């Protein structure tokens, strides 16, 4: 791989203490990956948060940057820790894993896609796994750390909005405060990744844009929210899950006519969220 594994889009003028990211919307399925997999490309895409980067693509007009993955989640899952390696897929690991995500095949290099369908016909060597992380995982997270650091330097605080999508069936038995099925699930690790005021602001923004909203059920946030959410230090992280059926045909993985309307509503919510942080701090005298 010679190109960067992500696309970083910056605003012309930075006016927000918010950073948006989309770690699962990448759709660059290389010939090498397709050749190594036993699944056809359409099945591989079943784990992809398709079009989420497009839904949030205009946040730069709100003064905030957007970091989006280029390679797919089935290749490297950027919302997992680099140590979450699966011994059922990767040879040379010292001991079995007690991590339920890994055991279900959803480690940092996934063994399966949606529905538990195995990606590979055989195991891969540990050196191949480490090379994949070096080429994809580490550059993405180095850039994310840099964005968070520079934002905190500018504003004294930062809010990371980690953007995802979820299958409609994932919330079949879940109800929002209104009693209806949620269309947005906000994950803050049950208060550990962001302050209450920040989460309430984010929730209100989506509600005012017309969405049914729930918190932490069934998705409370994974690696990104857990690792980067440090509210006591002024660094907040929330995971946003959007019901895919609102804007795309889940079976065909194609945008619906409603895509434009949903994107506009998400931008309405994002505009309110992007107001977080206030004015940039004055630079210290040298």
Residue 222 lies in a domain: yes
Q: How far apart are CA 118 and CA 37, in angstroms?
A: 9
Q: Span 1-29, mean pLDDT?
A: 93
Residue 16 lies in a domain: yes
What's the pLDDT score for residue 175? 85
Q: How far apart are CA 12 and CA 230, in angstroms?
A: 28
Residue 192 lies in a domain: yes
Position 162 pLDDT exceeds 80? yes
- pTM attached to this predicted model: 0.95
The top-scoring range by mean pLDDT among 90-99, 161-170, 172-181 is 161-170
Q: How far apart are CA 282 and CA 27, in angstroms?
A: 40
Nearest to 236 by CA among 203, 196, 284: 196
> Which pLDDT tens digit goes with each residue over 236-284?
999 999 999 999 999 999 999 999 999 999 999 999 999 998 655 454 3
What's the pLDDT score for residue 285? 32
259 contacts 247 by C-beta, under 8 angstroms: yes
Residue 264 lies in a domain: yes
Q: How far apart are CA 198 and CA 222, in angstroms?
A: 18
The SS3 of residue 129 is helix
Tell me the β-bridge partners of 22: 68
Q: Pairing state of beta strands 18-22 and 66-69?
A: parallel
What's the pLDDT score for residue 124? 96
> Which pLDDT tens digit goes with each residue over 23-42?
999 999 999 999 999 999 99
- Tell me what percent of the residues of the chain surpass a pLDDT of 70: 96
CATH number at residue 168: 3.40.630.40
Overall domain count for the chain: 1
Residue 281 lies in a domain: no
What's the pLDDT score for residue 284? 36
Token digits for 126?
A: 């540990």
Q: Span 98-103, mean pLDDT?
A: 89
Q: Span 37-54, mean pLDDT?
A: 97
36 contacts 116 by C-beta, under 8 angstroms: no
What's the pLDDT score for residue 176? 80
Query: From its phi and psi, is residue 92 left (phi > 0), alpha (psi between -120 and 50) or beta?
Result: left
Quote the distance between the C-alpha of residue 280 and its chain's center: 26
Position 66 pLDDT exceeds 60? yes
Residue 278 lies in a domain: no
Residue 99: burial class (beta carbons within 10 Å; 0-12, 13-18, 19+): middle
- Please give the residue range of the domain that contains residue 50: 6-273
What's the pLDDT score for residue 286? 29
Quote the distance between the C-alpha of residue 262 and its chain's center: 18
R_g of the chain computed on alpha carbons: 19
Residue 1 lies in a domain: no
- C-alpha distances out from residue 207 to 114, 204, 284, Å: 29, 5, 39
Position 2 pLDDT exceeds 50? yes
Token digits for 203?
A: 């929730």
Query: For all residues of the chain together, what is the average pLDDT?
Result: 94
Position 1 pLDDT exceeds 80? no
Residue 282 lies in a domain: no
């Amino acid at each position: 791989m010679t190109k960067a594994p992500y696309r970083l889009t910056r605003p012309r003028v930075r006016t927000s203490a918010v950073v948006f990211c989309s770690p699962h919307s990448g759709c660059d399925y290389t010939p090498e990956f397709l050749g190594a997999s036993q699944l056809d490309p359409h099945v591989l895409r079943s784990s992809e948060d398709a079009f989420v980067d497009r839904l949030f693509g205009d946040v730069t007009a709100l003064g905030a940057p957007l970091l989006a993955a280029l390679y797919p989640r089935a290749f490297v899952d950027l919302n997992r820790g680099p140590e979450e390696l699966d011994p059922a897929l990767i040879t040379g690991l010292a001991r079995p894993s007690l991590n339920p995500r890994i055991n279900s095949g959803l480690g940092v290099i996934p063994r399966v896609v949606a529905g538990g369908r195995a990606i590979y016909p055989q195991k891969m060597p540990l050196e191949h796994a480490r090379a994949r992380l070096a080429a994809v995982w580490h550059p993405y997270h180095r850039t994310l750390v840099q964005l968070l650091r520079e934002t905190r330097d500018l504003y004294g605080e930062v809010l990371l909005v980690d953007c995802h999508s979820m299958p409609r069936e994932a919330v079949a038995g879940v109800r929002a405060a209104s009693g209806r099925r949620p269309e947005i699930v906000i994950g803050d690790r049950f208060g550990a990744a962001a302050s209450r005021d920040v989460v309430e602001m984010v929730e209100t923004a989506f509600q005012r844009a017309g969405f049914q909203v729930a918190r932490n059920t069934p998705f409370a946030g994974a690696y990104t929210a857990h690792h980067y959410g440090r509210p006591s230090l002024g660094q907040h992280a929330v995971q946003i899950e959007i019901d895919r059926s609102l804007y795309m045909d889940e079976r065909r993985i194609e945008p619906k006519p409603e895509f434009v309307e949903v994107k506009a509503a998400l931008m309405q919510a994002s505009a309110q969220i992007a107001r977080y942080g206030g004015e940039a701090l004055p630079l210290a005298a040298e």
